[in-house]
Amino acid sequence: MTVPDAWYLGLSAVLFAIGIVGVIVRRNPLVIFMSIELALNAANLALVTFGARLGSPDGQALVFFVMAVAAAEVGVGLAIIVVIFRSRHRLSVDDLSLMRW
């Protein structure tokens, strides 16, 4: 059975949309962060699909770069979340309101 590549692209677009909506509607920084990771992985899926369609390994090579960068992002992001949690003992972006306008 073969799956047409438009389906992969459709799935990738849906994942990206879920990620973006998640960032906008969720209030917990960890979940927001997960949604962003989902959007990054949607881009990875699109890169692999396009690479396969073009018959070039470039798409997969790019995915390795993205995965390395995403891992670094997780490291930094979780550290920042821990610092916030230590000083406030709660985790919601609604609390991040010391500075406005």
Q: List interacting residues with other proteins (CB under 8 A).
A: 9, 12, 16, 19-20, 23, 29, 32-33, 36, 39-40, 42-44, 46-47, 49-51, 53-54, 56, 58-59, 62, 65-66, 69, 72-73, 76-77, 79-81, 83-84, 87-88, 93, 96, 98-101
Q: Which one, 1 or 100, has the nearer CB to other proteins?
A: 100
Q: Which one, 1 or 3, has the nearer CB to other proteins?
A: 3
Q: Which has the closest alpha carbon to 81: 34, 16, 11, 18?
A: 34
Q: Which one, 7 or 56, has the nearer CB to other proteins?
A: 56
